[in-house]
Structure 1
Amino acid sequence: MEINAPIQRKVAIIGSGLIGQNWAMLFASAGYQTSMYDVEPGQLQRALEGTRNQLTKYEQKGFLKGTGTAEEQAERISGTGSLQECLNGAFYVQECVPENLELKQKVFRELDALVGNDVILASSSSCLCASMIADGLAHMQNVLVAHPINPPYFVPLVEIVPAPFTSPDVVVKVRDLMKAIGQAPITLQRECLGFALNRIQYACINECWNMYKTGLLSAADIDSLCTNGLGMRYAFIGPLETMHLNANGIKDYCERYAQGAVRVQEETFHQIPVLYDTPTAEKIQDDWAISLPLQKLPERRAWRDNMLAKLSKLKSDEKSAENEELK
């Protein structure tokens, strides 16, 4: 299956919520004709209007990705209430329905009955494995998880998680496709609950939860620890490279600091799993009541996405400059 001529190729997006809209804009930015399907006509119309408006805003702010103007990219995105029409001519399908196992199983059974043998079926699931969703389907060898990180348009990581029955050729093709639309794919060598990003995220939240619950830090200071400390560093290098740079290589780091890290963990870490309990959650929410009450969450999410857009552009510009220096 060739994926090098995007203008002539079509992808299908199943579900037109925010994740589906982000996928549609990403594929359209790379030149793919993109069809969104939704059972709710009103939601579908809002999604088409939303993608067009977002692309226009991104163009105005200098955040637009890929090829063509915002208008040209918007014209590559269509919508339909017919699943068959959405799938006609598509070589790749990205499922974006809510994280509900029974719903995803139902959707994949419907897809399985309508697609040919060479169509790739990917789920946007954030925790559910492909083997839980598609085991026993006629085309299960073409099924895997391609998990985006919210918001996908500005956070490029995609976790590719094959099931034991997924064809290795499909894994390679999806990884190549993700690169072609400007994303940064990683490939898990086997299925596991939570995949990779959520496992690291949960470990971070666990310690934040414990520090708050034991009264070590306030909620605001815990977040500051990340945004003004770890987050700034990890936006450009990961924890393993950090170890490598903070000593004379990672081997030297471990020889210097490994025993100290063990002592810290033995003295301070709580046994897992850590339950994110409601009483503690209520206290944290009360701490945010003045600076970030619930009614301000949409405004804050928009601010978050705008800041991620700026960071994404900065990293893209830096990468382009580095590539120019290497020429």
Structure 2
Amino acid sequence: MLFACSGYDVMLYDVISDQLQSALVDIEAQLSALYKEGLQRSSLTLAEVKGHICTTTILEECVTGAIYIQECVPENRDLKRDVWRQIDDVITPDDVVFATSTSAIVPSLLSDHLKKRHRFMVAHPANPPLLNPMVELVPAPWTEPAAVDRARALMEVIGQVPIVLNKEIDGFVQARIQAAIIHVAWQLVSEDYVDVESLETAMSEGLGGWYAFMGPFDVEHINADGFVDLCKKYGAKAEQVQKTFPKPELMQGPAAKKLTRDLQQWTPSNRLTDRCRWRDRRMSALLQLKRKLDEEGKREELK
């Protein structure tokens, strides 16, 4: 959708034709909602955007002539490796970007068998990409800088905000930060320091207010007289707290069951789709607010 909104022709491929038809229905619904809320990233009409998207069940037809290939099959290493082997056998130009949307598998484990592995990288978008513009670009050890530069330029053209890792690491950036938050949150709930509702409130009504606009270091930088001052005042205390973090453990057992019961009270399993729509409406409103504030900030700079 993002590429089509920018005027690129997009070909969707799947081995199951019903999946493709379902995707087209979902795409139209999502784009219609964006246009209704004024959040489209395009001067094109909805009909023009839809006209840039077509489908095929033939892999060669999909990738031939492409300048960028984004693979989004399930998070299964063997499946991804096989799909890329098939693509590698078809593609002949040496400047096509190979990108996988994996959220945790490092690119070297998916591309070491490819003839064109120097074009391969992870391009992992945040969810949902239409409302959450950050995308992680993670090169393998053998990825050429030119391929990364081209992917970054393409992401910027379609309105995404790319970050480029200097080297690969499990979980990349976003998932590692998420894992750290879940790790500490799990301890606080499972060891009965706080109930689930209070933990959720601490994030949504506390830390979330900062992190919607700033990163963790920037937050701490202005919480004191600069980051060096903060380290002097609170560095020892931060280390003391960090030493109380537990060892990693699987989230299971009685604590997981209790947490699930609490979450089900707010969002039963049959209402998860409704809850996603609720989230997306609020993310839409936040995106609109950010755009408004950015525009006001630019006007202030020009005065």
TM-score range, shorter chain: over 0.9
Following superposition, the deviation at residue 46 of structure 1 comes to 1.0
Give the one of 275, 278, 285 matched to 1:303. 278
1:110 maps to 2:86: yes
Give the one of 295, 299, 302 matched to 1:320. 295
Specify the alignment match of 2:169 in structure 1: 192
Task: Compute the TM-score of the two structures, normalised by the length of structure 2.
Answer: 0.96
Residues 18-68 of structure 1, C-alpha deviations (whole Å, 9 max, x = no match): xxxxxxx11111111111111111110111121122211211122222221
Give the one of 62, 70, 73 matched to 1:97. 73
Residues 126-150 of structure 1, C-alpha deviations (whole Å, 9 max, x = no match): 0111111111311110000001111
Unaligned runs of 5+ in 1: 1-24
Letter of the aligned partner of 1:54 in structure 2?
Answer: Q
Following superposition, the deviation at residue 311 of structure 1 comes to 1.2
- Structure 2 distance, partners of 1:95, 1:319, is 33
Following superposition, the deviation at residue 264 of structure 1 comes to 2.1
3-state DSSP class of the match of 1:147? strand
- Structure 1 distance, partners of 2:292, 2:253, is 43
Residues 254-305 of structure 1, C-alpha deviations (whole Å, 9 max, x = no match): 1111111122223x3212x232124322110111232211111111011111
Following superposition, the deviation at residue 317 of structure 1 comes to 2.5
> Where in structure 2 are the equivalents of 1:63-212 lying within 5 Å?
63-116=39-92, 117-212=94-189
3-state DSSP class of the match of 2:12? strand
Give the one of 29, 33, 38 matched to 1:53. 29
**Identical aligned residues as a percent:** 39
Contact 1:52 1:71 in 2 (8 A): no
3-state DSSP class of the match of 1:289? helix
Following superposition, the deviation at residue 119 of structure 1 comes to 1.1
Specify the alignment match of 2:4 in structure 1: 28
Following superposition, the deviation at residue 322 of structure 1 comes to 2.3
Following superposition, the deviation at residue 319 of structure 1 comes to 2.0
Aligned residues: 301
- Structure 2 distance, partners of 1:52, 1:288, is 31
- Structure 2 distance, partners of 1:311, 1:31, is 26
Specify the alignment match of 1:275 in structure 2: 250
Task: Compute the TM-score of the two structures, normalised by the length of structure 1.
Answer: 0.89
Indicate the larger mover: 101-110 or 168-177.
168-177
Following superposition, the deviation at residue 222 of structure 1 comes to 0.6
1:248 maps to 2:225: yes
- Structure 1 distance, partners of 2:288, 2:157, is 18
3-state DSSP class of the match of 1:189? coil
- Structure 1 distance, partners of 2:180, 2:60, is 42
Following superposition, the deviation at residue 217 of structure 1 comes to 0.9
- Structure 2 distance, partners of 1:130, 1:58, is 32
Residues 58-93 of structure 1, C-alpha deviations (whole Å, 9 max, x = no match): 111222222212221111111111111111221000
- Structure 2 distance, partners of 1:289, 1:54, is 26
Contact 2:56 2:62 in 1 (8 A): yes
3-state DSSP class of the match of 2:136? strand
Following superposition, the deviation at residue 158 of structure 1 comes to 0.6
Contact 1:64 1:70 in 2 (8 A): no
